[in-house]
Amino acid sequence: MIIVTAFKWVPPFARGLVRELRVRWALEEAGLAYEQKLIGPEDQASADYRQWQPFGQVPAYEEDGLKLFESGAILLHIAGRGEAGDALLPADPAARARATAWLFAALNSIEPHIQNLAAIDLFYADQDWAKQRRPGAEEMVRKRLADLAAALGGKDWLEAGRFTAGDLMMATILRILRHTELVAEAGLAAYLARCKARPAFGRALAAQMAAFGEG
């Protein structure tokens, strides 16, 4: 049995964005059943959980004695599960490598800048340093989104003419900007809508929201 950790509660602005959504979505795409393990602050601080997830975050993942942490690593593991994983990565080795590169691009080239802007807006907006920093932070996000839009071009998906783990990761990160119009202004709204229209995403999002009592 696969177990995925998730938070019992987060503030309303974070609901639908917590990173375990990425793992739920990947498992739904792969057709793999799982159980959720809801945790709170006391669990995050416990020695047992820190042995599983060293930073006390979610998601953490367990399957037949294998324990993993970090959403990107977990997605790659799921994508490596034979036929089930084919739903997330192409079988062709070259296309598979390129799709994997997009997964890492989402995590390394896009997410840090988006998270930086989101932190300014959602946690520090009333502080003077944040007001001074925000224009530069937004400019960097706009640049990276423009680069992404240029790479996508007129394609539906980032690689191999089909949805892959790279699109899954990218979509979850673009959704962090839902409090802005930056995704639409970059010409990426249709791409994001295409990702969110997938039935597996709908099931994953509903599961996360249900954990907060909003199902």
Tell me which residue of 165, 8, 34, 150 sits closest to 101, measured CA to CA.
165
| Domain limits for position 74 | 2-87+200-211
Pair 56, 109 in one domain: no
In this predicted model, what pLDDT tens digit does every residue of 152-190 receive, in sequence order?
999 999 999 999 999 999 999 999 999 999 999 999 999
Q: End-to-end CA distance of the chain, in Å?
A: 23
Beta bridge partners of 6: 38
Mark whether 83 and 98 lie in a shared domain. no
192, 97: one domain: yes
Spatial CB neighbours of 120, under 8 Å, sequence gap ≥ 6:
130, 133, 134, 137
Please give the pLDDT value at position 213. Answer: 87
Sheet containing 66-69, strands listed edge to edge, beginning at the edge strand earlier in sequence: 34-39, 2-7, 60-63, 66-69
Residue at 70: amino acid letter: E
Residue-wise pLDDT for 40-54, tens only, equals: 999 999 999 999 999
Q: How many structural domains is the chain composed of?
A: 2
Rounded-to-integer distance, Cα 191 and Cα 149, Å: 9
pTM, two decimals, is 0.97
User: Does residue 201 surpass a pLDDT of 70?
Assistant: yes
One domain, residues 103 and 178: yes
